[in-house]
Structure 1
Amino acid sequence: MRLAMLAFLAGGCVLHFRATGALVAMTPDWVPWKRAVVLATGPLELALGLGLLVPRLRRWCGILIAAYVVAVWPANIKHAVEHLVLPPVPDSWWYHGPRLALQPVIAWWALYGAEAVDWPFARNRRPE
């Protein structure tokens, strides 16, 4: 799970540099210095993903990835609601609906992979 999350975040890092303009367009207006934020969060994604591989950092990196996933949700909502055309991403609810619905799953994935939570697959259930 951690390697898959690292690959996912590494792809996101690359996207931050290859599609900077599209990500800036998605960024809500209340975010200051949009371009700088987009460029800074790419390497942040990569660093946090790599941190998942370091046992001492794993838990905190998972928590920070989950927080980051929640923090970028408004950008994904803006992309969907304002019908921003950002090729090659389709402007369709067939794309946006699942993407928005999966944000909490991605946050959980980060927490579970970092062993910050064990729900719903508890590793050490106590007898009741």
Structure 2
Amino acid sequence: MNKNFWAIFIGIMFLLAGINHFVMPGFYLQIMPPYLPFPMALIYLSGLAEIICGALFIPKQSRRMGAWLIILLLIAVFPANIQMSIDEYQNGGWLFYGSVLRLPLQFLFIWWSYKFTK
């Protein structure tokens, strides 16, 4: 599979993840760090950001910009992923292990996106 396939794959993945913020906002509300204001607005804003990043990542002409925006987005939402791990650990939730695995995946996606900035 070539680089273009993976770029389209990443773009679609982010598009679907962004749409999910609007379909299942309650899930994201549960992992929102409690110190952040206006959690629902942030959920919808981050969903919109994921949709925009995914859409920019698909065409070759805007892929570089999309890659940089995905990197920034992944850094911005990292606290929510940490909060999810903390909450799942404290609650003994079954999602704890998945949430811990998700943390290094963020860095993998950052690295993967960075490869498309050149």
TM bin, normalised by shorter chain, reads 0.7 to 0.9
Give 1:101's aligned residue: 104
Q: 1:25 aligns with which of 14, 24, 30?
A: 30
Is the contact made by 2:19 and 2:51 (CA closer than 8 Å) also made in structure 1?
A: no
CA-based RMSD: 2.1
Gap runs ≥5 in structure 1: 118-128
Tell me how far 1:38 sits from its aligned partner: 0.6
Gap runs ≥5 in structure 2: 1-5
Tell me how far 1:63 sits from its aligned partner: 0.7
SS for the counterpart of 2:95 is: coil
Give 2:76's aligned residue: 71
Give 2:95's aligned residue: 91
Tell me how far 1:7 sits from its aligned partner: 1.7
1-structure distance, mates of 2:74, 2:23:
20
TM-score normalized by structure 1?
Answer: 0.75
Give 1:111's aligned residue: 114
TM-score normalized by structure 2?
Answer: 0.81
Question: Percent identical across equivalent pairs?
Answer: 23
Q: Looking at secondary structure, tell me which structure has more helix per residue.
A: 2
Give 1:55's aligned residue: 60
Cα deviation per residue 1:6-56 (whole Å; 9 max; x = unaligned)?
A: 121122112201220120221112322110111122122111111123334
Aligned length: 111
2-structure distance, mates of 1:43, 1:96:
22
SS for the counterpart of 1:30 is: coil
Q: 2:40 aligns with which of 19, 35, 44?
A: 35
| Moved beyond 3 Å, runs of 4+ | none
